[in-house]
Amino acid sequence: MAELSAIRTFFTQAEIGLNTNQIRESVLPPMVPILIKIKIMTTAMAGWTAAAAPVPMPAQAIATIVNSEVAAPVAVSLYDENDHQTGTIAIWRDGAVDDATKAVVKKLFRCRKTFRQKMMAQKTLAMLADVSDHYPGKVIEYVSAYRSGGAESSTSPHRAGTALDFRIRGVQLRDIRDYVWKTYNDVGVGWYPQEQFVHIDTRPQIHNTAWTFVNGNNRYHPYWAETAKRQATGVAVAPHEHRAGS
């Protein structure tokens, strides 16, 4: 695992000298397992370390490696709705982060009532990275993440550190909502049109759940959930038969 963390640190440094577009272009198709990419990177790094350490690696050389052989983490731009701060964190497509980023993630997504920290679930981070990558150049404006206050239900995904409430400026909420719902399984997706955010969480033990939150209530099985899934599968669904009085 030592090699692995070295690679992540390397990418953190590499990012400073590379613009985001270069990193994004280098991302391999999502079907390629991340472990294979890491192995390729390990080989490349071993060659470089032996040849050139401790001289800093030129940005040009880093770009060559990145563009030709290896996937990079997604640079996720965040805006903290509570603190009004912006920043960018690097998250791998499988939701992994390096140790330095882990500390940042815990702080950014801390409970705003108790100030307690909890690491966000890796699957949720993977989804966050994917959503960010799906809307290039956009900023994820998050409203709420980990919540540990007394008012938070014991079964709340926010208490479990698996949930994030957010919006993206310049993107329709319903677009984000539908994208997450049709792309992922084992998730909760809530649409909050009045509060202007989308809730996403990962729930490996529970089936998919969609809801719309209006006037203080969750409304389950919303129309949009069925529509989005139908679009995703391309399956034609026969119109419901309505009998008089039904």
Residue numbers of the site for Zn ion (CB under 5 A)?
A: 163, 165, 199
- Residue among 62 and 164 whose Cβ is closer to Zn ion: 164
Give the residue from 144, 120, 21, 117 showing the smallest Cα distance to 75: 21
Nearest approach in angstroms of CB 228 to Zn ion is 19
Residue 144 CB, nearest distance to Zn ion (Å)?
6
Measured distance CA(246)–CA(204) in Å, rounded: 36
CA-to-CA distance for 69 and 134, rounded, in angstroms? 22
Smallest gap from residue 45 Cβ to Zn ion (A): 39
Q: What is the CA radius of gyration of the chain?
A: 20
Q: How far is the CB of 173 from Zn ion (least distance, A)?
A: 13
Q: Yes or no: say if 148 and 111 are a contact pair by the CB < 8 Å rule.
A: yes
C-beta of 34 vs 171, nearer to Zn ion:
171
Residue whose CB is nearest to Zn ion in the complex, by number? 199
In the bound state with Zn ion, the residue whose beta carbon lies nearer, of 6 and 173, is 173
Query: By the 8 A CB rule, do 81 and 141 touch?
Result: yes
Nearer to Zn ion by Cβ, of 77 and 162: the residue is 162
Q: Per the structure block, which two tokens stand in for 11?
A: 């990418």
